[in-house]
Structure 1
């Protein structure tokens, strides 16, 4: 089930799968009219507000909406990683294959380690989006 399922269980499921808790500080990068509104609303309902990339707060989670035409993925991943707690997570949200702006998984696999992150899993994040979980490698 995904965030667009529309039921309370569907919303709770996507929040659980993202690992977001009610007291988490969440930063959002790359918001635009094409994002999955149900996913975003579920996160806002859980945490109360989303911080933008200009926040000075330390954050637990970054929601990074990214499309092929958005520029240099390594640069934005490095910016996203900077305010994270040691156990923080970047959820890289990219259009699914066949959708406008899709990014090949090989590009993500190449960009993440250059930015000091490693991919751990991917989940369905709505009708048009997939979320890739990126974290700092252990032992850093």
Structure 2
């Protein structure tokens, strides 16, 4: 095996190891992205937050951020109010083609949100669910995007 091929194999292995150890790597966060976090509380998945910051190379911005974000991470619990309203508000904070990662407590955890409620709220807000992930010990994530063709602009 040549040194170049061996180096590529080691690099690919390192990339896969990062995906396993950094949950944010699986979510598609990229260097330089502005990620706005909504619904932060002391129950959120700190490891995921730290992973997002490591992947983007910058700190998460909070609800008071007054510019457009590339991605919104919305921590939402059943008792947080109306999910559709929260998603509509989140859409207003991202650039066209941006993503909302909806983080909800897993089944059996306080604040659990039924998948059917997530689907209904996303559709009402004009979003499509493209992916669901395990976001940590207590949280699940749903990747929500604006349907193709609904908005023009960059993708």
Instruction: Using structure 2 for the length normalisation, give the TM-score.
Output: 0.81
| Alignment deviations for residues 115-137 of structure 1 (CA, whole Å, 9 cap, x no partner) | 12111110000001000000001
2:25–2:55 contact (8 Å) kept in structure 1: no
2:144 to 131, 134, 139: 134
| Alignment deviations for residues 81-132 of structure 1 (CA, whole Å, 9 cap, x no partner) | 1121222110000000011110000000110111121111100000010000
- Name the CA distance, whole Å, in 2 between partners of 1:88 and 1:99: 29
Give 4+ residue runs of structure 1 displaced > 4 Å after superposition: none
1:24 to 20, 30, 33: 33
- Name the CA distance, whole Å, in 1 between partners of 2:21 and 2:55: 10
Instruction: Structure 2: give runs of 5+ residues left out of the alignment.
Output: 1-16, 151-155
Structure 1 residues 11 and 63, CA gap change in structure 2 (3 angstroms): farther
Q: Tell me whether 1:123 sits opposite 2:133 in the alignment.
A: yes
Rg larger in 1 or in 2? Answer: 2
SS at match of 1:24: coil
1:10 to 20, 29, 34: 20
2:83–2:121 contact (8 Å) kept in structure 1: yes
2:38–2:75 contact (8 Å) kept in structure 1: yes
Q: Tell me whether 1:33 sits opposite 2:42 in the alignment.
A: yes
1:64 to 74, 90, 94: 74
Residue in 2 aligned with 1:101?
111
Q: How does 1:41-60 map to 2 (within 5 A)?
A: 41-47=50-56, 48-60=58-70
Instruction: Using structure 1 for the length normalisation, give the TM-score.
Output: 0.89
2:98 to 55, 80, 88: 88
1:11–1:39 contact (8 Å) kept in structure 2: no
More relative contact order, 1 or 2 (CA 8 Å, 6+ apart): 1
Task: Say what the alpha-carbon RMSD is for the aligned residues.
Answer: 1.4
Count of matched residue positions in the alignment of Structure 1 and Structure 2: 133
